[in-house]
Amino acid sequence: MNDIPGRPQAASSAASTTEPYRVMVVDDSAVIRGLLTRTLEGDGTIRVVASVANGQMAINTLQRQTLDVIVLDIEMPVMDGLTALPQLIAADPAVKVIMASTLTAKNADISLRALRAGASDYVTKPSSTRELTGAESFKAELVSKVQALGEAARRADPSKGAPSRPLAPRPVVAPIPGAAPAAAPAGTAAPAAPSPIRSRLLDHGPVVLRPAPDIRPDIIAIGSSTGGPQALFEVMANFRGGLQQPIVITQHMPATFTTILAEHITRQCGIECAEAKDGEPIVGGRAYVAPGDNHLLLVSRNGVTTAQLTKDPPENFCRPAVDPMLRSIVKIYGRKVLAVILTGMGHDGRGGCDQVVQAGGMVVGQDEASSVVWGMPGAVAMAGLCSSILPLKEIGPFIRKIALRTAA
């Protein structure tokens, strides 16, 4: 099942507080362009300002238009999407690009290559216009992603227009008993802080950092969604050699895409990674990706931990989902869990991270500045569940340090 999170908060207020997000649709089929345009403009927060048939036309249009989001087909004549992508980003580094393709192994591979080349996300189109016309889940996914990435584009470049929800002017951390000293507001003396928060925060109130438990984890669990593949490659490149713990990953992706994702992690990060198989033992030093359209759970029988794949109902609009994975892990590993929540829409992972914390484990979240969308890590952070909130480039080295320290 594709990632279909609930609409971001911008959806309820953007129409009344900002101009609609400006979108260009790029597809060689005029029928598909029309269907995508009607889907997007059916929501009051989005306006399709350009509709073109190939990558070269998209580049020419972007040089004349101010855009927030581009929905870019992969296979087109004259210039395909993967060829056009770097030129579009060079023309406007703040524009957000969503790759659109049908669900094939070839297109999954191209989409993941596009994400590494700078695309922000992808959507999998139904394979026929008849299917697309009635594909309500696809339409909801597309609208949600355009809204979230339109918001991110305006944060990256304020000249595009005001975002619907302003950021707080400075980082703030509220201390709790036993926690590390907080980062001081601007203009005051800063106390020493071994794990300072570095994210720019939502205007919902201060983030509370929990005391970091003094443990070496027996397992590392990672959850991610929008922007997640790029973040996973960055983080897991630091795990090459030396880590003894198993790594389990739930990335909101459909089937086929998760197969290709695991292959890319193996090739690019130098760590053995594959889709989890039902009933297989969980072995240290290997990474397991939840297959698309399946929840990945861990179970223990006769002292052996194995993977269990289920078709239980979606949670947080997703299957696979992070929460059921984390709940199952806590039952086996207790306090020896390190949970990491990376960029993504929605709040999947918040409930599972609460159980990790209640068991005495550790939660690390990606900061807002480095997240494509600060939904999932933001939800965990705002719930006061994180011991550390770090920029993406610091998460991998931090995990490695915790994973390799002396057992406690």
Nearest 5°: the CA angle 84, 85, 86 is: 100
pLDDT over 60 (residue 181) = no
Q: Which of 110-124, 183-197, 394-408 has the lowest mean pLDDT?
A: 183-197
Given 323, 348, 354, 367, which residue is catalytic? 348
Is residue 264 part of the annotated active site? The answer reads no
pLDDT band at 237 (very low <50, low <70, confident <90, very high): very high
Q: Calculate mean pLDDT across residues 283-310.
A: 97
Looking at residue 179, its pLDDT comes to 37
Q: Calculate mean pLDDT across residues 363-376.
A: 95
Collapse the DSSP code of 45 into the 3-class scheme (helix H, G, I; strand E, B; otherwise coil) and give the result.
Answer: coil
Mean pLDDT (the chain, rounded): 86
Q: Calculate mean pLDDT across residues 247-256.
A: 96
In terms of phi and psi (left: phi > 0; alpha: psi -120 to 50; beta: otherwise), the region of 283 is: beta
Given 252, 264, 295, 347, which residue is catalytic? 252
pLDDT over 50 (residue 347) = yes
Looking at residue 341, its pLDDT comes to 98
Q: How does DSSP classify residue 241?
A: T
pLDDT over 90 (residue 68) = yes
Closest CA to 59 of 38, 33, 90: 90
Is residue 195 part of the annotated active site? The answer reads no
Question: What are the angstrom distances between the C-alpha of 90 and each of 63, 82, 86, 145?
Answer: 11, 13, 6, 22
Is the pLDDT higher at 118 or at 13?
A: 118
pLDDT band at 50 (very low <50, low <70, confident <90, very high): very high
Bridge partner list, 124? 101
Nearest 5°: the CA angle 11, 12, 14 is: 65
In terms of phi and psi (left: phi > 0; alpha: psi -120 to 50; beta: otherwise), the region of 361 is: beta
Looking at residue 205, its pLDDT comes to 59
Looking at residue 79, its pLDDT comes to 98
pLDDT over 80 (residue 384) = yes
pLDDT over 80 (residue 166) = no
Q: What is the rounded CA–CA span in Å between residue 65 and residue 71?
A: 15
Place of tokens 């927030």: 68
Collapse the DSSP code of 341 into the 3-class scheme (helix H, G, I; strand E, B; otherwise coil) and give the result.
Answer: strand
pLDDT over 90 (residue 333) = yes
pLDDT over 90 (residue 45) = yes
Which string of b and e fits 371-380 if b means at least 16 CB within 10 Å? bbbbbbbbbb
Q: Calculate mean pLDDT across residues 211-218.
A: 93
Sign of the CA dihedral running 215, 221, 224, 228: positive
Is residue 225 part of the annotated active site? The answer reads yes
Looking at residue 33, its pLDDT comes to 95
Closest CA to 385 of 318, 320, 326: 326
pLDDT over 60 (residue 106) = yes
Q: Give 185-207 pLDDT, tens digit per residue.
A: 333 333 333 333 433 444 455 78
Given 225, 328, 370, 387, which residue is catalytic? 225
Percent of the chain with pLDDT over 70: 83
Sign of the CA dihedral running 328, 329, 334, 337: negative
Is 46 in contact with 14 (CB distance < 8 Å)? no
